[in-house]
Amino acid sequence: MVLHALRATDCATLTEITRVTGLSRPTVEGVVEGLIENGLVVEKAAEEGAARRQGRPARRFRFRAEAGHLLGLEIGPHRVAALLADLDGRVLGAMAKEVDEGASADERLERLRIAVAELLRRAGVARSSLRAVGVGSPGIVEADGTVRLGTALPEWTGLRLGERLSRSFKCPVLVENDANAAAVAEHWKGAATESDDIVFVLAGLSPGAGSLIGGRLHRGYGGAAGEIGALHLLGREVTPETLLSTTDEPLHPLDEQAVAEVFALAKGGDQRARAAVDRFIQRLVHDVAALVLALDPELVVVGGWAAGLDGVLEPLRRELARYCLRPPKVTLSLLGEAAVATGALRLALDHVEEQLFAVEGTVTARR
């Protein structure tokens, strides 16, 4: 409770903490002393080196968000990215590296390690200061951080991703599906801060989705919730790569550059490209409708590709309104390509908060 009170404000006096928490003054004093010993709280005056002035002004304390650090990592087909934050979740730095879509798992993880090392060095943060690392990755991720199935990246299925990354860190490493992480991010500081019941659609050639129900991530019984990429196979329909192609050859499944070109051509009035985009949107509408009918969210956030997706919004709204018994609001991602790493960061922050407040809970229970 004391930690909660201190984190909610810049700094506070013992009297203020006593008032906010409802705890007795001796209790608050004891807890604050303990938190100072742990390095999580500091006395403002002492920190500022100011001599106590006459009249003995009340001592003021503040939460030391700099007492530890967090990483939010993204592993994607074309890039790896890392976000560094303090214990308040305030972002201190970011780093991204391109990676070849055909890179082996080893190469991809090595690129990520390089990005992290560079990010920590530039920010002047010691690796030992890290309290938790969140990771967003394509694929179905099990609770222990193993990728059960991941067709989007080479050598990804079966990869013990959590264990591999843990070798680089002494703190806990939490691995989550990328669309799930993005859903958490949009809810934290993106397009979905006002809603607790959302579906985030990662609209790639193989679309995935993450959903929050009552503000909590819905992973499903086996961590596979939202993996709607296979839905079209049941209708015996063609793949998105074929839908979006303007030639007789399907696009490469991971070639987002080619996709962006088709979208650009369609905008420019090219007939074949426009037809391809229409086919693609129809598919996306169908996949999103399946999610919406199953889950009935308040809000659908569409993200994934930076380019071209704005044209998706209107047809999506129109078709969902036609076929869903209770159509949701539909909006574009606000976080764009930062969504996955931001969500991974939030998951790391959740973990640390749980730890911090669990300690506090134990103290309370013991009283």
Give the footprint of a copy of itself on this chain (CB under 8 A). 140, 148-149, 197, 209, 211, 213, 218-228, 230-231, 233-235, 285-286, 289-291, 293-298, 319, 322-326, 328
Distance CA(112)–CA(107), nearest Å, equals 9
Closest to 332 measured CA to CA, from 353, 312, 352, 358: 312
Residue 41 has a CB neighbour count (10 Å cut-off) of 22
Residue in the block written with tokens 């990728």: 147
Nearer to a copy of itself, 277 or 291 (CB): 291
Nearer to a copy of itself, 86 or 178 (CB): 178
Nearer to a copy of itself, 68 or 303 (CB): 303
Residue 101 has a CB neighbour count (10 Å cut-off) of 18
- SS3 assignment, position 192: coil
Shortest spacing between CB 264 and a copy of itself, in angstroms: 27
Shortest spacing between CB 300 and a copy of itself, in angstroms: 11
Shortest spacing between CB 40 and a copy of itself, in angstroms: 32
- SS3 assignment, position 223: coil
Shortest spacing between CB 291 and a copy of itself, in angstroms: 5
Shortest spacing between CB 92 and a copy of itself, in angstroms: 36
Residue in the block written with tokens 């490493």: 173
Nearer to a copy of itself, 120 or 288 (CB): 288
Q: How far is CA 315 from the centre of its chain?
A: 27
- Contact (Cβ atoms closer than 8 angstroms) between residue 281 and residue 263: no
Nearer to a copy of itself, 72 or 208 (CB): 208
Shortest spacing between CB 225 and a copy of itself, in angstroms: 4
CA distances from 126 to 68, 83, 117, 344 (A): 10, 15, 10, 20
Look up residue 305 and give its amino acid.
Answer: W
Nearer to a copy of itself, 264 or 293 (CB): 293
